[in-house]
Amino acid sequence: MNTNITIRFAGAEDINIIGFLAQEIWPPTYREILSEDQLNYMMDLIYSPASLKNQILEKKHTFIIIEEVEMPVGFASYSITNQQDIYKLHKIYVMSNQQGKGLGKFIIDFIAGNIQQQGALALQLNVNRHNKARYFYEKIGFKIISEEDIDIGNNYFMNDYIMEMKIS
């Protein structure tokens, strides 16, 4: 793992950085899975400044920014669920030139360590059923526990697996 990689907690003052990273990472990640219209709809729904502000301030999602020599190269967010000992990973994205270097596992390990200190027993996430990231998650210990189709409006659905990793 590159020793120039750092992770820092992000706040509302980092919305522009998160939005920039999302714009760079998200469309190429989902271009083969989603239509351009759905991609644009979801970018606005999830990554507009107002939506990010709501996620940080109202929904209390913890955001982290991953930096290489102080340059942002990725981000993630997570929060506790309605079940006190289960957390949800909402987002984990790194620039394509950073993928395959162990950064994803490094981020998951960081989050797992953080939530374990808060009493977490498991970390869950949703992943699109056609997203190859599913295999990465399985490789690092996540297991598919169910499927769900989430209506996100505008006649669009997120067709996901729900995956879970036990925290020990």
pLDDT, tens digit, 9 for 90 and up, residues 42-84? 999 999 999 999 999 999 999 999 999 989 999 999 999 999 8
75 touches 26 (CB < 8 A)? no
Residue 23 has pLDDT above 70, yes or no: yes
Beta strands in the chain (DSSP E): 5-10, 62-68, 71-80, 86-94, 122-128, 143-153, 156-166
Q: What is the pLDDT of residue 84?
A: 85
78-93 pLDDT, tens digit each: 999 999 899 999 999 9
Q: How many CB atoms lie within 10 A of CB 1?
A: 9
Q: Which residue has the tokens 């669009």?
A: 156
Q: In the prediction, which pLDDT does 3 show?
A: 74
pTM equals 0.94
137-157 pLDDT, tens per residue? Answer: 999 999 999 999 999 999 999
Amino acid at residue number 36: E
Cα separation of 17 and 87, whole Å? Answer: 24
Q: Are the beta carbons of 23 and 40 closer than 8 angstroms?
A: no
Tell me: pLDDT of 103 over 90: yes
| Whole-number Cα distances in Å, 65 to 52, 75, 109, 122, 143 | 14, 4, 14, 22, 26
Write the pLDDT tens digit of every residue in 25-34: 999 989 999 9
Please enumerate in sequence order all residues whose Cβ is within 8 A of that of 139, keeping only pairs 6 or more positions apart, or say none.
Answer: none
Q: What is the amino acid identity at position 103?
A: L
In words, the CATH class of domain 5-120 is alpha beta
Q: For 136, phi and psi rounded to 5 degrees?
A: -60, -50
Q: Return the pLDDT at 2.
A: 63
Farthest-apart Cα atoms in the chain, separation: 45
